[in-house]
Structure 1
Amino acid sequence: MVSASSTPRLPRWATAFGPQIVLALVLGVALGLAADALGGDPDTDPNGLMTALDTIGTSYVTLLKAAVVPLVVTAVISSIANLREVSDAARLAWKTLLWFGITALIAVVVGLVLGLVVQPGAGTGASAPAESYEGTQGSWLAFLTGLVPGNFLGLQASSTVTGAGAVATTTSFNVLQVLVVSAAVGIAALKVGEPAEPFLAVVRSALAVVQKVVWWIIRLAPLGTLGLIGRAVFEYGWTSMGGLLAFVATVYAGLLVVALVVYPVLVRLHGLSVKQYVSGVWPAVQLGFVSRSSVGTMPLTQRVTERNLGVPRAYASFAVPLGATTKMDGCAAVYPAIAALFVAQFYGIELDVTHYVLIALVSVLGSAATAGTTGATVMLTLTLSTLGLPLDGVGLLLAVDPIIDMGRTALNVAGQALVPTIVAHREGLLDRELYDAPRSGDPFVPEDAAPEGATPEEAAATGAR
């Protein structure tokens, strides 16, 4: 009889989460190139490999988004109820919003400086759009009215007629509305007091169940990554950049400056380890890059913020969902600043100091106006319309938007984990032992993998086995 201890085990690199993600990225690129080489059009005539990669990638993002509503509802209600255990809850909320604004202002300044120095819109050789842009435009009124939920969960339904004459109905949700409803219920439960305890007990139990399901979904991330990056390679590639290469390079330079210089400096100024922050948030940044969805990545962002960076759950479950809808340094700060300058330079329009101040103001205050939307198109139209610049410029940049959106979303996610970490540290709430604990091969240590009462180091060692 062979003992369990002598049973052959797979090497660590084959079972650890990080290497699995890297391997999925490599395989995804290879399969994406193979799908492109097989021929076919991704939109009208996809080949079998294209279809398979697209199905895997979109199915994984759909899974993640399916977990968002129950996670936000249960986490926010529970966290608001738990805020009575956290001193000065109102101050925590205010400081969170303040740091959202501070980091957004720094990011938009980086974008403006790069846009003025590089001049990506001057002499691009690109042609102006033949037709006027008629897409969705951002507005402050739409943001304010969008805060009012149409139903309890902020669900929205739309119907379209297919080519065969059938009616297809799809449902979606507005995360900001879900957040508003959940906050209202949580505050009401807090005010009711003892009679609400049975309800809160059910919510906490539901939260534990949802978090377990989210953990299972996250473990499928390597498979989802393979499909998402493969689809990006055959669908977008790099040939679509053309004369807009300078613009794409400038945007990515801005994103990298914020991610690799600004964020680490802020972390270091607060006496925290940059290495621990980067390694802690990296799993969520990876997923944000390939999924292009801050909302879809939110379950993992919240998880690493709690389990890697040591932010208390009562605070993280409030700050991270709020950040996923309103904290977008990539989509709402760096990108609109550079894009606005690009459009002005492309059309030969001179901007003055007033315009630069307006860009900064819209970027700091306007993130919430894009909540629940995909990409940064709404934010860009809001910026251009505020400045009085041609909205046709939006259509000019749509060709390269998917390529840029990967980097934008990655920076969004990094910022959404950074601010709760800074605020928790400044308020003396950060678990420094957990923040400084050695990282295992997994994105974080499952709570049920560590023995009760274990230190963070022991928990990390347990999760690595």
Structure 2
Amino acid sequence: MQKKKIGLTTKIFIALILGAIVGVIINATCINNPIVSKYIVNGLFYVVGQGFIRAMQMLVVPLVFCSIVCGAAAIGDTKTLGKVGVKTVLFYLFTTVAAVAVALSVANIINPGAGANLSKLEAIAKAASSTTSTTTSNPSMVDTLLNIIPTNPISALASGDMLAIIFFALIIGLILAKLGDQVQLINNFFSQGNDIMMEMTMMVMSVAPVCVFCLIARTFSTLGFSVIFYMLKYVLAVLIALLLQCGIVYQTLLKVLTGLSPIKFLKKFFPVQAFAFSTATSNATIPLSIDTLKEKMGVSKRISSFTIPLGATVNMDGTSIMQGVAVVFVAQAFGIHLSMVDYITVIATATLASIGTAGVPSVGLITLTMVFNSVGLPVAGISMIMGIDRILDMARTAVNITGDAVCTTIVAYQNGDVDKEVYNKM
């Protein structure tokens, strides 16, 4: 019998544990040894870890640009379904904004990074101090809104101005959708560019276990065992926000906009949520979601065959929640103050980034780099998140596909495409 191959995310989780163990041992026994400190902790561990972070940063601009162009082009096709398409897109955008707002609120109540003092890490402290100067300028709301429109798109791409890049990519994508076959060559260019960047992302992620080991080992070598407490608070904050989004926000919208029972919805859709949790990929659940909505809830396939695949592409509420909590966690851990404008920027960036987030495991970590860049947070903070991302990735995928199904049910109900007898049948 062939042995089951260990998945990448499992390897990353193992690397996290081993890195923490090695780091704690070094911190307790030989951190003051000049050879260990200079050549291992601040030599090998630092070079490998920072090399990986630079590779992730390398991916951000081309990946986000190509994927959002493709995502926007897909949204442009909604005109073929008229009002149904418009309602679907607006619903997805609204719930994503709500998701980030919930995440930021929960994180500021729990304060997962308060007291972590990650600035003790010498190299990261430099990044934190440099970003602090950028965030203390606190640009006005008017300037923030105007800066979304790039005066020079090429300059925005070169400098990594993420909101301007997203805006420009959205415009291109929508125009591609409008022109259709006239610009098929350009459409193929961006589609194939997106495929190339996804493959490059997988290549970079393939070395993640070794790099995560080095990042975490260096962190624990410097800070000791106490870091685990803050990581657990981060996990708790994300899980609470996910539960609120799935159990309160979605179900309230379902009840208010349709009058249908949220309890019956959750009972019937639970097997799909369990499947999404186990696979951590929205794309894999598309056939099961459509079939469950049809057979158990009486939702017409005419609607679900459009809204569910679209949701797997543009509706990533769970990922947006992770990003919102991560922003607060890292800002608190590095002692960086975020203004109200920064929070609004996070909401806008995470919402727009969800359009281009692929429905495959761990890609949300790449777009998290983009969200960090938008408010000047050190990307090195992602090293604290990567190892424990597998558990959260599974949970947020379940939330993602639940949002798709709730949207589909609401849109179908308002369009007269829900069989109430099937829905209410237990």
TM-score class, shorter-chain normalisation, is: 0.5 to 0.7
- Report the alpha carbon displacement of residue 154 of structure 1 after superposing the two structures with TM: 9.2
Pick closer, same or farther for the CA change 1:125–1:40 going to 2, 3 Å: closer
1:4-403 equivalences in 2 (<5 Å) = 89-124=81-116, 128=121, 140=166, 148-150=187-189, 156=195, 243-270=230-257, 271-331=259-319, 333-371=320-358, 373-375=360-362, 376-403=364-391
The Cα shift of 1:323 comes to 0.3
- C-alpha distance in structure 2 between counterparts of 1:355 and 1:105, whole Å: 15
Quickly say closer, same or farther: Cα 1:424–1:129, change in 2 above 3 A. farther
| TM-score normalised by the chain length of structure 1 | 0.53
Q: Per-residue deviation at 1:403?
A: 1.7
Closer/same/farther in 2, CA of residues 302 and 366 from structure 1, 3 Å limit: same
How far off its partner does 1:395 sit?
1.9
Counterparts in 2 of 1:243 and 1:129: CA distance versus 1, 3 Å: farther
User: In the alignment, residue 247 of structure 1 is paired with which amino acid?
Assistant: Y
What per-residue deviation string (whole Å, max 9, x for no partner) do you get for residues 346-385 of structure 1?
Answer: 1111111101111111222220121355321122112111
Q: Residues 242 and 318 of structure 2 are in contact (CA less than 8 Å); yes or no, is this contact kept in structure 1? A: yes
2:331 and 2:251 mapped to 1: Cα distance? 32
CA distance in 2, matches of 1:42, 1:317: 42
Pair 1:372–1:334, CA change in 2 (3 A): closer
1:10-55 per-position Cα deviation (integer Å, ceiling 9, x unaligned): xxxxxxxxxxxxxxxxxxxxxxxxxxxxx99999xxxxxxxxxxxx
Matched residue type, 1:102: F
Alignment equivalent of 2:400, drawn from 412, 416, 431: 412
Deviation, 1:155, is 9.4
Structure 1 residue identity aligned to 2:253 = L
Cα separation, partners in 2 of 1:241 and 1:264, compared to 1, 3 Å: farther
Residues 124, 244 of structure 1: 8 Å contact kept: no
What SS does the corresponding residue of 2:188 show, helix, strand or coil? coil
Query: How much does 1:116 deviate?
Result: 1.0
Q: Decide whether the 8 Å contact of 2:280 with 2:360 is kept in 1.
A: no
Deviation by residue 1:297-346 (Cα, 9 ceiling, x = unmatched): 22212221222232211111111001011111101x21111111111111
* Residues 241, 325 of structure 1: alpha-carbon distance in 2 compared, 3 angstrom cutoff: farther
Question: Equivalents in 2 of 1:403, 1:422: separation in Å?
Answer: 29
Q: 1: distance between equivalents of 2:231 and 2:122? A: 13
Which residue of structure 2 lines up, in the alignment, with residue 14 of structure 1? none
* 1:412–1:129 distance in 2 versus 1, CA, 3 Å: farther
Question: Kindly tell me: are residues 279 and 368 of structure 1, through their superposed partners in 2, closer, same or farther at Cα, counting changes over 3 Å?
Answer: same
Distance 1:318 1:282 in 2: 22
Structure 1 residue 404: Cα displacement = 1.2
- Structure 2: segments with no counterpart, 5+ residues: 1-13, 19-76, 128-159, 177-185, 204-226
- Number of equivalent positions: 284
Deviation sequence 1:158-209 (CA, Å, 0-9, x none): 9x9xxxxxxxx99xxxxxxxxxxxxxxxxxxxxxxxxxxxxxxxxxxxxxxx
Please state whether the residue corresponding to 1:339 is helix, strand or coil. helix
**Partners of 1:42 and 1:245 in 2: how far apart?**
13
Give the partner amino acid of 1:382. M
Alignment-mate amino acid for residue 409 of structure 2: T
Structure 1 391/423 Cα, relative in aligned 2: closer, same or farther at 3 Å?
A: same
Verify the 8 A CA contact 1:241 1:248 in the aligned structure 2. Answer: no
Q: Check if 1:433 corresponds to 2:425.
A: no
Q: Which stretch has the larger CA shift, 272-281 or 314-323?
A: 272-281
Superposition deviation, residue 268 in structure 1: 1.6
Q: Which runs of 5+ in 1 are unaligned?
A: 1-38, 44-80, 161-168, 171-239, 439-465
Distance 2:231 2:247 in 1: 24
TM superposition shift of 1:148: 3.2
Q: Is the 8 A contact 1:96 1:420 kept in 2?
A: yes
Structure 1 pair 379–308 and aligned structure 2 pair: CA distance change class (3 A): farther
Separation in 1, partners of 2:317, 2:86: 19
One-letter code aligned to 1:312: S
Q: Higher RCO, 1 or 2 (CA under 8 Å, sep at least 6)?
A: 2
- Relative to structure 1, the CA distance from residue 116 to residue 435 in structure 2 (aligned partners, 3 Å threshold; closer, same or farther) is same
Contact 2:298 2:419 (C-alpha < 8 Å) held by counterparts: yes
**% same residue:** 30
In 2, Cα distance between equivalents of 1:317 and 1:90: 15
Instruction: Report the counterpart of residue 11 of structure 2 in structure 1.
Output: none
How far residue 128 of structure 1 moved from its aligned partner, in angstroms, is 4.8
Residues 316 and 400 of structure 2 are in contact (CA less than 8 Å); yes or no, is this contact kept in structure 1? yes
Distance 2:17 2:322 in 1: 27
